[in-house]
Amino acid sequence: MSDHHIDPTRAQFQAFKGLDRDHPIDMLNLVRFRDLANYPGDHELARDGLTGAEAYALYGKQTAAILKKVGGSILWRGGFETTLIGPEGEAWDAVFIARYPTAHAFLAMISDPDYQRAVVHRQAAVATSRLIRTQGAGGGDSFG
Domains of the chain listed by start with CATH number: 21-134 (3.30.70.100)
Report how far residue 136's alpha carbon sits from residue 138's, in angstroms, rounded to the nearest whole number. 6
pLDDT, tens digit, 9 for 90 and up, residues 53-85 = 999 999 999 999 999 999 999 999 999 999 999
pTM exceeds 0.85:
yes
Nearest 5°: the CA angle 128, 134, 138 is 140
Q: Report the mean per-residue pLDDT for the chain.
A: 94
pLDDT, tens digit, 9 for 90 and up, residues 117-141 = 999 999 999 999 999 999 877 778 8
Largest Cα–Cα distance in the chain? 53
pLDDT at residue 1 above 50? Answer: no
pLDDT at residue 3 above 80? Answer: no
pLDDT at residue 2 above 50? Answer: no
Q: Is 109 exposed, middle or buried (0-12, 13-18, 19+ CB in 10 A)?
A: buried
